[in-house]
């Protein structure tokens, strides 16, 4: 067992890895989205290549630790929602609507419930 796998057993490290994974997934999606809106082929290809690397890093980050991802899914969904909204706002200038904010409150509440119930 390598050092990275052993390190993920602590609660704080698990939370940090889940946050990193959510950031990688939302970030990779943002690179795809940006690439779709470019007109020059080299720009599209460059953004899609970066997206592929970032999304691979996401997959590796989520799947390499020896955890029961199903028990951590609630917290991961919260992190993904928050990072995706932040990236959408900062990178694409799309401010979340009231409906998204209210729905997000339910996502966060649900994630907290799942996280508490899974401990």
Q: How high is the pLDDT of residue 8?
A: 43
Positions of the chain with pLDDT lower than 70, given as ranges: 1-9, 119
Question: What's the total number of domains in the chain?
Answer: 1
Question: What's the rounded Cα separation, in Å, for the pair 48 and 33?
Answer: 9
CB atoms within 10 A of CB 69: 12
Q: What is the pLDDT of residue 119?
A: 67
> Residue 115 and residue 81: Cα distance in Å, rounded?
15
pLDDT given for residue 1 in this prediction: 43
Q: Which domain holds residue 30?
A: 3-117
């Amino acid at each position: 067992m390598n050092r990275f796998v052993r390190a993920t057993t602590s609660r704080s490290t698990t939370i940090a890895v889940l946050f990193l994974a959510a950031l990688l997934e939302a970030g990779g999606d943002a690179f795809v989205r940006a690439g779709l809106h470019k007109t020059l082929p080299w720009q599209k290809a460059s953004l899609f290549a970066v997206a592929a690397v970032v999304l691979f890093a996401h997959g590796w980050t989520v799947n390499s630790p020896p955890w029961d991802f199903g028990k951590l899914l609630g917290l991961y969904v919260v992190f993904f929602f928050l990072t995706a909204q932040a990236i959408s706002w900062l990178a694409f200038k799309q401010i979340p609507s009231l409906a998204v904010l209210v729905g997000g409150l339910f996502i966060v509440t649900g994630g907290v419930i799942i996280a508490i119930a899974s401990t």
